[in-house]
Structure 1
Amino acid sequence: MAMKFSVLASGSSGNAIYVETDEHSFLVDAGLSCKQIGNLFQQIGRDPAKLDGLLVTHEHSDHIKGIGVMARKYKLPVFANERTWQAMDGLIGEIATEQKFVFGMETVQSYGGLDIESFGVSHDAAEPMFYIFRSGGKKLVIVTDTGYVSDRMKGIISDADMYVFESNHDIDMLRMGRYPWNIKRRILSDVGHVSNEDAALAMSEVIGDNTKRIYLAHLSRDNNMKDLARMSVQQTLEAQGMAVGSQFELFDTDPSIPTDLTAV
């Protein structure tokens, strides 16, 4: 069963990732307006009304901005863990009870030949978690919004065919930038976001023989640049003995331009 995905949008202004098999399709987060997400779906030739559900990672606005309107407009099921549901209360408007589903932390839900596994990350939200998709012997891992990548996480996400991996900031740009110190401290903390170098070091420990593509995601608009992120990650991986470009490839993501719908 072929599994395909597109990073519709990724960055501090909004995040949404589309995953499909021949039988099912899901959207991980809806951190843009319903109209914007509809336009992104058009660009990849898909219809949001046909989604099987919306999977929520955590309650920050760049991940849930469009959840409520999407759910109401298209009558979509919404999946989140109990603490995230509580944290979203009052942020996404009313959602009908029959559209609200609990997806527990570190559990697996199956839809035909598609298995979706949740796992916890270290971020300053109620109970943040991300997702692994498995179908047809392939494995897609989505992991952003984490201050560090723990050994437990590394074990869960290792040797995926494809990764959507946070590469949030360049440490020097962040330190020299315009953010107030309390925001800088939050981003650099264990419940903030991983830097380009720390992301690459974590990647070097999880990349396996099956790994073919890594998408650098959730880049800071103010404290990173695509070229810088890719260069930093590549240099760090190559210093760890990884053959970037032949063993696997690195790809950019964008806040407003979807990646090509790609088979995992």
Structure 2
Amino acid sequence: MYKALICILLVIIGATYASYPIAKQPKKLQRLPSNSGETKVGIDLCPECIEEAVEIINVILNIILDEGIIETCGELCGLLANKTGSKIIGDVCDVACEAFGLDEFVKALIKADLDPIWYCEMADLCPINDHGDAKFTNFQITPKSAPEGSTFVFDCSFTSVNGTGTGVINIVMIDPKNRTAANLYWFEARKPGTYPEKIGLQTLFELDCDPTQELCDGWAIGTYNVTAQVCNGECGSHHPHSSTYDTATGSFEITKKKNSFLKNITFL
């Protein structure tokens, strides 16, 4: 039914979702574990849905391309469960598909206009809170300065009076050469309270450079300006149930280059 159109769009959609940062975080910019005992809102399928959304979308598109006409959500999602070997993923697909209706579900996938949080909210798998709030408690970066090769910690802890919807922390960093790097870290809906969130940045190797594939010059000496946002839904999304709760800025400085012998180290 949708075979010709999907054939054209698969390459575009695949390229779009391959770089999506919610599910796969770069090794050098990692959320650090928290012992806060945080209280979450919502059912267990919300984290499963968000973590698997990108894979689900790509596999479903390939199924439709391979199978052609599919009559029901049950048939489509049964094939997905078989392909992935996961009944849970099939169940998530079935709930989402039934919520949209088969035709609208496929059309939404083809448009490549589904960010994982909105997709899971529309499928009633993640709770919605349009009256929530969040504010950074004291955005800090430590240490303030250190040589290349050091680990910098971004303290993105936030507090909420009315609770939050399912959201993200967005980190945007501009280096001394005016180059930009960004990443998202999603969180489940939260009850009122204070929530510690820390993200570690390793500067042993350049953030957007793979030393196994290309020559990396390392991290530039100088000041790195950082903007952090905590958002309802995805920051900057045009979809419903999306807004920016709070924004904070900070900076850190790399003072000197690492020892030359480290330049020959590569990731395994």
- Whether TM exceeds 0.5 here: the answer is no
TM-score (norm 1): 0.24
